[in-house]
Amino acid sequence: MNAIEAQKKLKVLFSDIFGGDQVIKEWPSNRNAEDWLKRFDNNIIYAPRPDIAIGPFNIAEGENTPDT
pLDDT the model gives residue 42: 53
pTM, two decimals, is 0.61
pLDDT the model gives residue 27: 78
- Please write down the long-range contacts of 2-6, taking CB distance under 8 Å and 24 or more positions apart: 3/51
pLDDT the model gives residue 14: 95
Task: Render pLDDT for 16-64 as a digit per residue (tens, 0 to 9).
Answer: 999 988 998 887 766 666 665 665 555 566 677 778 888 887 666 666 5
pLDDT the model gives residue 23: 93
User: Strand, coil or helix: what is 54?
Assistant: strand
Q: Residue 24's closest CA among 57, 59, 64?
A: 57
* pLDDT at 11 exceeding the cut of 90: yes
